[in-house]
Amino acid sequence: MTTAAATRQEKDLLGVRELDHTLYYGVQTLRARENFYLSGRCIGEYPDFIKALAIVKHAAANANHRLGLLDSARHGAITKACAEVIDGAFHDAFVVDMIQGGAGTSTNMNANEVLANRALEHLGEQKGSYGRLHPNNDVNLSQSTNDAYPTAIRVGLLLAHLPLLESLCHLAATLANKAQQFGGILKMGRTQLQDAVPMTLGQEFQAMADTVSADLEQMRTLIPATLCAVNLGGTAIGTGINADPRYQAIAIEELAALSGFPVRAAPNLIAATSDMGDFVLLSGLVKRTALRLSKISNDLRLLSSGPRTGIAEINLPARQPGSSIMPGKVNPVIPEAMNQVAYEIAGNDAALTLAAEAGQLQLNAMEPLIAYKLYDSIRLLSRAVRMLDRECIEGISANPDRCSALVHRSIGIVTALNPYIGYENATRIARLAQDTGRTVVELVQSEQLLSNALLAEILRPENMVAPRSPLTR
C-alpha cells in the first residue's frame, strides 16, 4: 500500500523548499510568511478582501478563457476553486501578514498558489503539480500584482462598506426615534460648556440623527464613485504589457458581473496604478464619521453626568459596574469605547496618508499598509456603530423634571427677553441674578419690566426654541 508523501518540494527564484503536503499555499507564500511577522494580522482574517481576490482571479480566468488563452479544463478548475473561496472556504490558507514589502506581491502570490493547488485537486492532480496548472502562468495569466491587487482591494472595500452603511442607517433611525420621543422636553442649550438658550431635548437628538444621516448619504454616493474605477488590465505599470488588447474590457465586464458592483476602467491606467488618492479620500470620509460619532459620544457623557452632581438630563443604560472600589458607580462605557475607536481610526488615517504620499514613479510600494488601515477602520467603525446604537442609544431615557429645573434656574433665558427689555437691561438682570441667586423671572417681575402675561408668553417653550416674530408688548 502506497502512502502519500508527508511533504512536497517547490522551487522559485531563490531555490527549493519543502512544504507540508496538506498546505494549499506554496513556496512564495512560505517565504513571505517567514519574512513578515509584523501586524500579527494575516490577510485571511479579512474575508471581504479574500473574496475580492478570488473574484478578481475568477474574472481574469473567464476573460482569458473567452480569448482562447486558457483551455476549458484549466478554466473550469480555476473558477471552481475561486467559487469555493468566494463562498468562504480555504481562507485559513491565506497566511501572509497584512503589512508586507513588495507592494502586495506576497498577497497576490498567496492567492495564486492557493487557487492553483485547489484547482489541481479538481483536475485530479497533487498539490504542487504545476506542470499541469501553474500559479503564475495560469491563475495570474494577463495580470500583475500591480493591477490585480489594487483591484481586489477596491472590490473588497466595496463589500466591506455595506455593513457600515447598514449600521449607520439603523443608528440614524434610532436617534430620530429618540428625537421624537423627547420632542416636548424643554432644556438648556449650552455653548462652551456655559448656559446658552433653551432648546428641546428632541432638537438635540435630531441634530445627532441628521449628522449621522448626512455622513451616510455621503458614503452612499462617494464610496462607489471612488472605488469602482479599477486598473485591472494595466498589468505591471499600467501599459498593459503581456495582456491581450481585448483583455481589459472583457475582464472588467466579468468583474462587474461577478462582484455585483458597477466597476469600470480607470481613465488612465498608469495614473491609477501609482496614485492612492482615492484611498485617502475614503479614509478621510471614514475618519470624519468616526469623529462625529465621538463628538456625539462626548455629548452623551456630559448630558448623563452625575447622577446627582452633574447635568443628568438623560440616563444612559447601565452596562456594567463602574469601579472596583466605589460601590454603586456606573460609567458611560459604551460612549467611552466609541471615543477610543475614533482615535484609532484617526491614527489609521494618519498612517495611510503617509503611505499614500510615499509612492515613487509608477507604483506605491506602501499599498499593503493602505489596505490594512482601511479595512481595519471600516470594520472597527461598523462594529462601534452597532455597539453605540444597541447598547446605548436605544436605552437612553430622559429626566424631564431635571431639564425643566435647569431651564428655570438658568440665566440663559434672559436672551429671550432681549427684544423686549433691551440689551442693557438684560445684561443687568443677568448679572443681578448671578450675584443674588434669584431667577431672571423673579427679577423682571420685581422691577415690573414686563407684564406677567407677556413674560409668560415670551417664556413659553414653543416661543423660545424656534424663530418667530416679536410678540406684542
Would you call the peptide bond into 47 cis, given omega within 30 degrees of 0 as the criterion? no
Q: What's at 242, amino acid-wise?
A: N
Backbone angles phi, psi at 94, to 5 degrees: -95, 95
How many separate helices (H) and strands (E) can be counted in the chain? Answer: 17, 8
What number of CA atoms fall less than 13 Å from residue 451's CA on the CB side? Answer: 6
- Between CA 349 and CA 375, with CA 157 as vertex, the angle to 5 degrees is 45
Give the separation between CA 336 and CA 358, rounded to whole angstroms. 34
- On the 0-12 / 13-18 / 19+ scale of CB atoms within 10 A, 61 is buried
Give the separation between CA 373 and CA 72, rounded to whole angstroms. 39
241's torsion region: left (phi>0), alpha (psi -120 to 50) or beta? beta
Residue 418's CB is within 10 A of a number of other CB atoms, namely 12
Residue found by looking up cell 438630563 in the block = 313
Of the candidates 39, 213, 259, 323, the residue annotated as catalytic is 323
C-alpha cell at 293: 460619532
Closest of 132, 80, 130 to residue 109, by C-alpha: 130
Give the separation between CA 84 and CA 279, rounded to whole angstroms. 29
C-alpha cell at 348: 489609521
323 is catalytic: yes
Give the separation between CA 370 and CA 354, rounded to whole angstroms. 9
Closest of 181, 225, 171 to residue 201, by C-alpha: 181
Closest of 84, 93, 78, 100 to residue 145, by C-alpha: 100
C-alpha cell at 376: 481595519
- Between CA 63 and CA 45, with CA 368 as vertex, the angle to 5 degrees is 85
- Alpha-helix runs per DSSP H in 44-104: 47-66, 72-86
Give the separation between CA 118 and CA 224, rounded to whole angstroms. 32
| Measured CA distances, 452 to 145, 443, 456 (Å) | 79, 12, 6
Q: Which residues are tagged catalytic?
A: 323
